[in-house]
Amino acid sequence: MLRSLFVDFNSYFASVEQQLNPALRGRPVGVVPVMADTSCCIAASYEAKVLGIGTGTGVAEAKRLCPDIAIVLADHAKYVEVHHRAVAVVDSIAPVRQVLSIDEMECELTGRWQHRARAVALAERIKTELLTHVGECMRTSVGIAPNTLLAKLASNMQKPNGLTVIELHELPARLYELPPKAISGIGPRMVQRLARCGIHTMAELYAAPRELLRTAWGGVAGAEMYDKLRGQWYGPREKVAKSLGHSHVLPPDLRHPAGAFAVLNRLTQKAAMRLRKQNVYATSMSVHVRCRRGRAGHTGDERAAQVGETQDTAFLLHTLEQLWHSGLHLLPQPVMVGVQLHGLIEAGQHTGDLFGFDEATADAQAVTAPAGSLSARTAQGMAPLRDRRKLLATIDTLNGKHGKNTVYFASAQAGLDHAPMRIAFNRIPDLESER
């Protein structure tokens, strides 16, 4: 039974650029977050990809491989606008069940559309309508399979302009030619964990018993993967994302510890604002730094901390500061940084501030956390939470009205005097949209 139809745009950012600027069509195009030879491509057109240029290729390297490559500055607003149009077009043909990223969406096939010939006809119609109504450069690869995991995998099997069907009876042999990392959710770290369990190939992954996958994944996610690989249907993700966050490739002039920290500070403020917008609370926070691979061999590092249940910018900035000074500040040549807030819970399940300075107690100025603990230290010198709530709401309103960085906390930017904020945040797209 075919139930999932997965649409993935080919070279999305580069295709949008080619669509909007005919001079770029048919040419190798690299999209960059910052105009500099030390920057790297966050997307490449198909013409560039055949020359070996892809996401992550440095601009200097791309120019060496292809001297007349067109290097284009990313314009996130354009990509978002085209995204909304594309979703509307697909949704007019088959209801879109979930949008997975800026260039990926899934439709659920029901009734007679679950039969192969009908599903393929539907996919062809979606492809044609996208070319007609969004643009002739907007090519897609479509995957059709019994569930989302397999349909996404199928969409990656033929590029560009692919249409691949995986039927239940073709499993698992049809996938044996692919490496396990072709599966969404099996990243470099998971590949290592699987290797430790003796799993290196797709055949070995399919041969592994459910319990072994549970061990490899360290929990129920492994058992779920076992079922998904066998085509079992599963629902879309929970409505509330379990985590949210941002990461940024640092522009060349901020590739030093102070610059990295300044960017992390902004990313934290942005993430905290999103918590409040979605009305969810974070229970833990992690910060990662990736470094240029040098002789020292540093590739980066990450730190995490529990934050109770919070959506408070000031508290998250203090946590950031502590995580940063626990060793991240010593990493040489940072090139990319990110902040993630995890374990999100909805406001309805929020149990008040675990550290004891929620509204009921904040005004009493009685911080009940043990002396020396993270919360006690960070609570020092902060306004009572009720006042901070009002302040945060005001900041969110101002930023919503006048642009993202109209007002922001400078509290954690001490020591950054030599690293002025020259970065124009709203012009640099989040890499998360590339996932």
State the nearest-atom distance from the C-beta of 51 to Mg ion, in Å: 19
Query: In whole angstroms, how far apart are CA 303 and each of 131, 381, 410?
Result: 45, 25, 22
Tokens 């580069």 sit on residue: 14
Q: Which is nearer to Mg ion, 86 or 202 (CB)?
A: 86
Q: Which is nearer to Mg ion, 8 or 108 (CB)?
A: 8
Q: Which is nearer to Mg ion, 301 or 434 (CB)?
A: 434
Longest Cα–Cα distance of the chain, Å, equals: 69
Q: Which is nearer to Mg ion, 86 or 374 (CB)?
A: 86
CB atoms within 10 A of CB 272: 26
Q: Which is nearer to Mg ion, 9 or 261 (CB)?
A: 9
Q: Judged by CB under 5 A, how many residues of this single chain contact Mg ion?
A: 3
CB atoms within 10 A of CB 92: 12
The whole-angstrom separation of Cα 143 and Cα 163 is 6
Q: Which is nearer to Mg ion, 103 or 106 (CB)?
A: 103
**Nearest partner of 211 among 199, 220, 202, 203, judged by Cα:** 220
State the nearest-atom distance from the C-beta of 159 to Mg ion, in Å: 8
Catalytic one among 17, 47, 81, 104?
Answer: 104
List binders of Mg ion among 174-233 (CB under 5 A).
none
**Alpha-carbon radius of gyration of the chain:** 24
Q: Is 8 in the site for Mg ion (CB under 5 A)?
A: yes
**Nearest partner of 426 among 208, 212, 270, judged by Cα:** 270
State the nearest-atom distance from the C-beta of 103 to Mg ion, in Å: 4
Interstrand relation of 70-73 and 4-9 (parallel, antiparallel or unpaired): unpaired
> From residue 61 to residue 100, what is the string marking binding to Mg ion with x (rule CB under 5 A)?
----------------------------------------
The set of residues, in sequence order, having a beta carbon less than 8 Å from that of 348 and lying 6+ positions away, is none
Q: Is 106 in the site for Mg ion (CB under 5 A)?
A: no
CA atoms lying within 13 Å on the CB side of residue 142 = 21
Q: Is 103 in the site for Mg ion (CB under 5 A)?
A: yes
State the nearest-atom distance from the C-beta of 8 to Mg ion, in Å: 4
Q: Annotate 159-183 with b (16+ C-beta within 10 A) or e (fewer).
A: beebbbbbeeeebeebbeeeebeeb
State the nearest-atom distance from the C-beta of 254 to Mg ion, in Å: 28
State the nearest-atom distance from the C-beta of 161 to Mg ion, in Å: 12
Active site residue 104: yes
Q: Catalog residues that contact Mg ion under the rule CB under 5 A.
A: 8-9, 103
Q: Would you name the residues annotated as active-site residues?
A: 104
